[in-house]
Chains A and B, each alone.
Chain A
């Protein structure tokens, strides 16, 4: 590969290994902790293994962003083969990854130029953004232009999902404005979205089927969708069915079905179903 700009994201992008290879994207793992035991997301355990372990573990896991040293090592390694490095990382309002990468960037500044982009997104929206950066880099677009393009397109990505319970988001401190949904007397499958880098309430639904219909309605009401993916963590059948419906609706096949990784699953809990869409540029 003759590309001079290296592209880095982290494991919350939920990019599967084959996509990472195909687009030449380096993925830095976050960490999941079961008590004293620390595991690297996607390296020491897969999403499937994590969900199985989550079900059988009596202790709830915690997560941590990659230490500065891991970024620094990655930067120094990539500096041998690339002229510049572009990091596309999850919303700084949800993760400390951006902060960690910026510190590492300043400590390697004499060796290589590193740009850190706060994607304001997470999961496969972040994945789409990393792929977008890789595409542009392949076309030899200068790094500054890639950075400004990514920044301009942030609002074109939408993440909408529903959870079985808000408890995990609350415990992990990632609930943000959705806190106002807490305390409902009645069963709720709250629909949430990521907006300005934060988790905010979108709609309320009392059953999974209505919540799923709301996801489809969300996609239906957007004008021109370029990319779409379905997110899940414990309900593959629901996810495949939703992907089929969206594929028909948008005439886009196949729609990727993405298993949300351990770190995000820790924060949203089991039973999550959602979609990521990217609206067309220049709408």
Chain B
């Protein structure tokens, strides 16, 4: 969690060399900065769909890295390895996996070093760049890869001039920022959306966090993040509960204060002193407050003296923690019991899905274990690893069912003694098609071949709501509009579900399909169901249609056509 107070001693204590402890602290500060800005990074997501959020994924990955470093005297080399291991286990989403490889490369660059100076840092960044490029099958420029390369290039040049850590770091950040600024020129999709690459932005923030430590900072001030100044919506505060750990306690207290001539600095200091994990932003007319306290009444009492309160939201974190722990225990238990009635054999199938209905559908088609997650919460490598290690077979096939989980799934094979294969499914309908081709009596690699072959027999369509305004491929999309996707590509948008569905079906160019399976999401209403049924009847009068309950969040319908 973000530190509650700030103690900036800028320029007074510039470290030119880091030992292991200091390296760990530097990344802890970088983690705190990324945590404070994760919503800012999330807002850079190109696609206006509720999808695996880059900022959240990177913040949780680096948090896991930092938590793996125990107190005590370690060499810089050892701390690098601990960070790399923590990041690997905690990696979430593609950006998290690449970040974990950056940590691994960083560690290899300072192998056997007790301490780290500017030259070591340059080597570490070069190692980070090399492994980051290897983490993806086809490296794409205009992404976080470009940004880490920009950092490594400039750091190398600087290190030829000076061993100064602060100088090399400063140049690395300049290089990263320049590379980040170039991402819209390198990737057309970024240019169209008018944003820089989210993962690259995360890298820049991380390096900035290291620099702050080098300048003597020990905590992140409660500063407004660039895109989320005062007046931004409350959403980022609502999301904070997702990040509460198992050891958080007390009440997560959120509210806004409106007033005239507020003394912002004084109010912030007073409020921050009343609890932990304070995030307080605002100006002289309003305050937004997030704080963990055991006495929310006292906090609110103080705030009423400042002005009028609004949007008060108090959550009992101890209770949330209990629920979280119980859910995790239940998830583990259900994993262990899963698959009764499924194909038993020498091979188990672990599949990822959000929503009870999707999970049940996968289970009845033969998945042994379901890992909860998907579009909005990508499971970490460790979550997948745990499911694989708990699977009732020595050979395991992983179905990520989402583009943003494939890399994390690929990592799992290196972390377990089980034989793991990933069939790169990008949707639950693809996962179901793969399962239909699964036969536990056949050898592992033969199954992988036939399951991979089955993916092209199904087209995945999705209907969801845009989460922001955007213009993509010449299509204007407004926040809240219905959008339709074909195999993850935006294909239709509009205000009316039936007409978006109709143009989606037309765009998909499906020739007399035999079967349509439309999983209704948690938010789909009866009217939505009727609208889709109507559109389907118009488009495919001959085709058999099923409407199982999917229960998935955010996506009104996940549709498989075969």
Partners in one complex: yes
Residues of A within 8 A of B (CB): 180, 182-187, 201-210
User: Provided the pairs A203-B437, A204-B366, A210-B457 are in contact, do residues A186 and B562 lie with their beta carbons within 8 angstroms?
Assistant: no
B282: min CB distance to chain A, Å: 50
Q: Are the CB atoms of B341 and A185 closer together than 8 Å?
A: no
Could you say which of A182, A185, A187, A209 contacts B360, with CB atoms under 8 Å apart? A185
A218: min CB distance to chain B, Å: 11
Q: Can you list 30 pairs linking A and B with CB atoms under 8 Å apart? A: A180-B342, A180-B343, A183-B341, A183-B364, A184-B364, A185-B357, A185-B360, A186-B361, A186-B364, A186-B517, A186-B546, A187-B544, A201-B343, A202-B439, A203-B436, A203-B437, A204-B365, A204-B366, A204-B435, A204-B436, A204-B437, A205-B436, A206-B432, A206-B436, A207-B514, A207-B515, A207-B562, A208-B514, A209-B514, A210-B457
Which residue on chain B has the smallest CB distance to residue A210? B457
A241: min CB distance to chain B, Å: 15
Q: Are the CB atoms of B343 and A187 closer together than 8 Å?
A: no
- The answer to the question of B245 belonging to the interface, with a C-beta cut-off of 8 Å to chain A, is no
- The answer to the question of B11 belonging to the interface, with a C-beta cut-off of 8 Å to chain A, is no
Other than the given A180-B343, A204-B437, 4 more pairs (CB < 8 A) read A180-B341, A186-B548, A187-B515, A187-B544
Q: Which of A180, A186, A203, A208 has the most CB of B within 10 A?
A: A186
Which residues of chain A have C-beta atoms less than 8 A from B562's C-beta?
206-207, 210
Which residues of chain B have C-beta atoms less than 8 A from A206's C-beta?
432-433, 436, 515, 517, 562
B residues 348-379 touching A (CB-CB < 8 Å): 357, 360-361, 364-366
Residues of B within 8 A of A (CB): 341-344, 357, 360-361, 364-366, 432-433, 435-439, 457, 514-515, 517, 544, 546, 548, 562
- A206 to B514 Cα, complex, angstroms: 9
Q: Are the CB atoms of B439 and A186 closer together than 8 Å?
A: no
Which residues of chain B have C-beta atoms less than 8 A from A187's C-beta?
515, 517, 544, 546
Which residue on chain A has the smallest CB distance to residue B560? A206
Which residues of chain A have C-beta atoms less than 8 A from B515's C-beta?
187, 206-207
Which residues of chain B have C-beta atoms less than 8 A from A203's C-beta?
436-437, 439
Q: Are the CB atoms of B360 and A210 closer together than 8 Å?
A: no
Which residues of chain A have C-beta atoms less than 8 A from B365's C-beta?
184, 186, 204
- A210 to B457 Cα, complex, angstroms: 9
Which residue on chain A has the smallest CB distance to residue B517? A186
Which residue on chain A has the smallest CB distance to residue B366? A204
Dominant secondary structure of chain A at its interface with chain B: loop
Which residues of chain B have C-beta atoms less than 8 A from A209's C-beta?
514
Which residue on chain B has the smallest CB distance to residue A207? B514
Which residues of chain A have C-beta atoms less than 8 A from B548's C-beta?
185-186
Which residue on chain B has the smallest CB distance to residue A180? B341
B522: min CB distance to chain A, Å: 16
- A207 to B542 Cα, complex, angstroms: 14
Which residue on chain A has the smallest CB distance to residue B515? A207
B138: min CB distance to chain A, Å: 31
Q: Are the CB atoms of B514 and A186 closer together than 8 Å?
A: no
Which residues of chain A have C-beta atoms less than 8 A from B439's C-beta?
202-203
Q: Are the CB atoms of A185 and B366 closer together than 8 Å?
A: no
Which residue on chain B has the smallest CB distance to residue A213? B457
- A182 to B340 Cα, complex, angstroms: 12
- A210 to B435 Cα, complex, angstroms: 13
- A207 to B515 Cα, complex, angstroms: 7
Which residues of chain B have C-beta atoms less than 8 A from A182's C-beta?
341
A273: min CB distance to chain B, Å: 14
- A186 to B545 Cα, complex, angstroms: 11
A221: min CB distance to chain B, Å: 10
A193: min CB distance to chain B, Å: 11
Q: Are the CB atoms of A185 and B364 closer together than 8 Å?
A: yes
Which residues of chain A have C-beta atoms less than 8 A from B436's C-beta?
203-206, 210
- A185 to B342 Cα, complex, angstroms: 13
- A187 to B544 Cα, complex, angstroms: 10
- A210 to B436 Cα, complex, angstroms: 10
- A88 to B344 Cα, complex, angstroms: 34
- A7 to B341 Cα, complex, angstroms: 42
Which residue on chain B has the smallest CB distance to residue A202? B439
- A177 to B359 Cα, complex, angstroms: 23
- A208 to B562 Cα, complex, angstroms: 11
Which residue on chain A has the smallest CB distance to residue B457? A210
B67: min CB distance to chain A, Å: 39
A203: min CB distance to chain B, Å: 6
- A210 to B433 Cα, complex, angstroms: 11
Which residue on chain A has the smallest CB distance to residue B514? A207
B523: min CB distance to chain A, Å: 20
- A185 to B361 Cα, complex, angstroms: 6
Which residue on chain A has the smallest CB distance to residue B358? A185
Q: Report, nearest first, the 5 A-B pairs whose CB atoms are least far apart.
A: A207-B514, A184-B364, A204-B436, A185-B361, A207-B515
Which residues of chain B have C-beta atoms less than 8 A from A202's C-beta?
439
- A89 to B439 Cα, complex, angstroms: 30
- A202 to B439 Cα, complex, angstroms: 7
- A187 to B548 Cα, complex, angstroms: 10
Which residues of chain B have C-beta atoms less than 8 A from A186's C-beta?
361, 364-365, 432, 517, 546, 548
B412: min CB distance to chain A, Å: 25
Which residues of chain A have C-beta atoms less than 8 A from B360's C-beta?
185
Which residues of chain A have C-beta atoms less than 8 A from B357's C-beta?
185
- A186 to B365 Cα, complex, angstroms: 8
- A186 to B344 Cα, complex, angstroms: 19
B16: min CB distance to chain A, Å: 63
- A202 to B546 Cα, complex, angstroms: 24
A219: min CB distance to chain B, Å: 16
- A205 to B436 Cα, complex, angstroms: 5
Which residues of chain B have C-beta atoms less than 8 A from A180's C-beta?
341-344
- A206 to B545 Cα, complex, angstroms: 12
A235: min CB distance to chain B, Å: 14
- A206 to B430 Cα, complex, angstroms: 12
- A203 to B442 Cα, complex, angstroms: 11
Which residues of chain B have C-beta atoms less than 8 A from A201's C-beta?
343
- A206 to B544 Cα, complex, angstroms: 11
B530: min CB distance to chain A, Å: 21
- A184 to B515 Cα, complex, angstroms: 16
Which residues of chain A have C-beta atoms less than 8 A from B544's C-beta?
187
A70: min CB distance to chain B, Å: 39
Which residues of chain B have C-beta atoms less than 8 A from A207's C-beta?
514-515, 562
A254: min CB distance to chain B, Å: 28
Which residues of chain B have C-beta atoms less than 8 A from A183's C-beta?
341, 364
- A185 to B515 Cα, complex, angstroms: 14
- A203 to B450 Cα, complex, angstroms: 11
- A183 to B342 Cα, complex, angstroms: 10
A63: min CB distance to chain B, Å: 28
Which residues of chain B have C-beta atoms less than 8 A from A210's C-beta?
436, 457, 562
B518: min CB distance to chain A, Å: 11
Which residues of chain B have C-beta atoms less than 8 A from A205's C-beta?
436
- A204 to B342 Cα, complex, angstroms: 12
- A94 to B109 Cα, complex, angstroms: 68
- A183 to B365 Cα, complex, angstroms: 9
- A201 to B343 Cα, complex, angstroms: 9
- A184 to B546 Cα, complex, angstroms: 13
- A182 to B364 Cα, complex, angstroms: 8
Which residues of chain A have C-beta atoms less than 8 A from B366's C-beta?
204
